Amino acid sequence: MVKISRNTKSSTRRKSRKWLLLIPSFMLLAFLLYAFLFFSGRLTEETTALDEIFSSGQPPDDNAKDTKKAQGIVYPYPAPDGATPIMKPAFGAHRLHADAVFALAEGHDLQTFIPFVESLKSTEFTGDLVLGISAMDQLKPGVEQYLKSHDDDGINVVAYTSTWICHDGQGKIVQGANSGIRPCKLVGMFADEKKGGVIKDPREARPVATARYDLYWCWSLNYSKHSWIMLIDSRDTYFQLHPFVTVQRESNPKRPDGLLYLFEVSVCSCVRDSGASL
């Protein structure tokens, strides 16, 4: 049996304590080194920014870094090569510098249009209301007359009719988009820039609920870069506030890019005292 003397044990404990005492020192040195490197980098950035100001006489662009990162990224143009959008409103006219609300409202009856349009008017919105509606000969009673009656009351209604080729689950051509669920293709959206003939929809058939964003893009070409545009559903929307009153407008008219705001709507099933669901 090997015996360890008390002196040996004490010596080992003293060495362990010394190493334990050195750990905080190492941690402090590491922190000081990190702080030095961090503030050195910040100082270099600030010095570079000051150099830019003194050399150009203008403060650096806040979006310069994001712009540099975005360089080289090419987003696909919705129109096929050599094609140009040719869709024209069935009635109404766009105003280049106006704000606008876009909505697809095909198949709606008059009782659906009235709360949507009248609530928007009540907010003192004076921009364009651009709607995708059913073919003129398929509009529900009173819809055409109602939409055309807003020429002189502050809101400018612009209406488009679209022709869709839709398919059922077996791939057969059927009538109607079935509330936007059936896969469809747009007809008459693009024309050949040189020959002038209509080009077929180059994309795969997709639900109208998705394809409507092609329409929104086409409509947006009629507005300036600094117009505010809201995309919203029309069937279950009631405006209580001006669509853009809480959004700060861009103050720099030369800014090439814009802002995209995404809003999430939470729908709750509330119960009154009587037990009726709201």
Residue 190's contacts (CB-CB under 8 Å, 6 or more residues apart) are 79, 80, 83, 84, 85, 86, 198, 199, 201, 202
Name the more confident of 8 and 77: 77
Element of type H or E holding 14 = helix 6-56
pLDDT in tens, 202-222: 888 888 888 899 999 999 999
pLDDT in tens, 102-115: 999 988 999 999 99
Q: From CA 99, how far away is CA 95, in angstroms rounded?
A: 8
Give the Cα-Cα-Cα angle 248, 115, 243 (nearest 5 degrees): 5
Name the more confident of 225 and 5: 225
Q: From CA 207, how far away is CA 178, in angstroms rounded?
A: 9
Name the more confident of 100 and 246: 100
Which amino acid would we find at residue 153? D
Looking at mean pLDDT, say which of 63-67, 72-76, 84-88, 172-176 comes out highest.
84-88
The HSE-up count of residue 277 (CA atoms within 13 Å, CB side) is 3
Q: From CA 63, how far away is CA 59, in angstroms rounded?
A: 12
Residue 48 has a pLDDT of 52
Contact 132, 104 (CB under 8 A): yes
pTM (two decimals) = 0.67
**Position 92 confidence tier, pLDDT thresholds 50, 70, 90:** very high
